[in-house]
Amino acid sequence: GYRIERLLDSIGDTKFGYEKIAYLLLMGELPTTEQEKEFAELIGKCRILPTNFTKDVIMKAPSEDIMNSMTRSILTLASYDEQAKDTSVQNSLRQCIQLIGEFPLIAVYGYHAYNHYIKNDSLYIHHPDPSLSTAENLLMMLRPDQKYTEVEAKTLDTALILHMEHGGGNNSTFTTRVVTSSGSDTYSTIAAAMSSLKGPKHGGANIKVMEMMEDIRNHVSDYSDRDEIAAYLSKILDKEVFDG
């Protein structure tokens, strides 16, 4: 088998490995050095959205829920694919590789649309750089000045790898298997898998945690008082504290 520790060690301290592990999950085996290079270049070429897609789809009716925005974009991309309903292995693989390249764009641009239209912040759209890794592109497109450190990029690359595969019991993995068993197309399947991750017990867990932290701040007067914090946490665990 492929242990995650061994895979991370094989990448090294300075290189980025998201593309390498994506190849492993798609093909079932680690790529050679040449295959890894070709696959990374292919992903780079796929980092492009259809003409006016960002303006016509992502920027219109933006959502404060980024996963909603991404799901809508995934489904809409089917309208730009003349082979959207072709479920052959070759075509499905082509669609998945394209989506891997497009995901950073629809995620980051969806966030910027939310920031601008809902949070009244500045709007900026940076085009991806095909020569950069997935982690580097995410950081570059997110930042107003397009700058990031090597440590930030390496940390994000590792996080992306750890989140790529949670095992056969994962919500999105299970949903993908269920939806594809009906013969459905790639876009509908991945949109369904994305929706399966939305709730506060999964993809929305970070938002729920922030809400819980805010609740504690509103009910604890002295953050340095460990006894006061422990007493309030005990109330939560004893279900003496209810929403509202």
Q: What is the DSSP string of the chain?
A: ---HHHHHHHH-SSS--HHHHHHHHHHSSPPPHHHHHHHHHHHHHT--PPTTHIIIIISSS--S-HHHHHHHHHHHHGGG-TTTT---HHHHHHHHHHHHHHHHHHHHHHHHHHHHHTT------PPP-TTS-HHHHHHHHHSTT----HHHHHHHHHHHHHHH---TTSHHHHHHHHHHTTT--HHHHHHHHHHTT-STTTTTHHHHHHHHHHHHHHH-S-TT-HHHHHHHHHHHHTT-----
How much is the pLDDT for 244?
44
Output the pTM of the full model.
0.85
The encoded tokens of residue 83 equal 């082979």
pLDDT for 238 equals 83
* CB-based contact 58:110 (threshold 8 Å): yes
Stated length of the chain: 244
CA 79 to chain centre: 22
Tell me, what's the pLDDT at 172?
Answer: 86
pLDDT per residue of the chain (244 residues) written in tens, 0 to 9: 678 889 999 998 889 999 999 999 999 999 999 999 999 999 999 999 999 999 999 999 898 888 999 999 999 999 999 999 999 999 999 999 999 999 999 999 999 999 999 999 999 999 999 999 999 999 999 999 999 999 999 999 999 999 886 655 678 888 999 999 999 999 999 999 999 888 777 777 778 888 888 999 899 999 889 999 999 989 888 876 655 4
Residues 154 and 240: their CA atoms lie apart, in Å, by 43
Which of 97, 101, 126 has its CA nearest to residue 111? 126
Q: Is 28 in contact with 84 (CB distance < 8 Å)? A: no
Name the CA radius of gyration of the chain, rounded.
20
Taking each helix axis from N to C end, the angle separating 66-77 and 186-195, rounded to the nearest 10 degrees, works out to 170
Give the per-residue pLDDT at 64.
87
What span, in angstroms and rounded, lies between the C-alpha atoms of 191 and 113?
A: 20
